[in-house]
Amino acid sequence: MATWRRLERDDSHPPLEAMVQGTHALTHAIAEAQKAGKISDRFAPVDLLALVLVIAAMWPALPPELAANVRTHSTAQRRKVITDAVSTLTAT
């Protein structure tokens, strides 16, 4: 649903309350983890969430010229790149 909403990108649709609440819950959980010292606080919770979401969705978003270079990556390799990147972003 979130991906479809990104495609629409106009102001004619009000925010979906379930998505607003979900985003609030996630940013709150990130803030709590940061306060507890479990993850880095170098990024604001909302910025960290945005970074993680974009990284998680990066493979299909690649331009064809770059995608051609990573076609041989297995699902496991792609997953590792994403989890390593997120681990680096959140490391304390």
- Give the model confidence (pLDDT) of 52-65 as tens digits: 999 999 998 889 88
Model confidence, pTM: 0.79
| pLDDT of 45 strictly over 80 | yes
Note the pLDDT of residue 3. 64
Note the pLDDT of residue 56. 93
| pLDDT of 77 strictly over 90 | yes
Copy the structure tokens of residue 27. Answer: 């940013």
Mean predicted confidence (pLDDT) in 72-80: 93
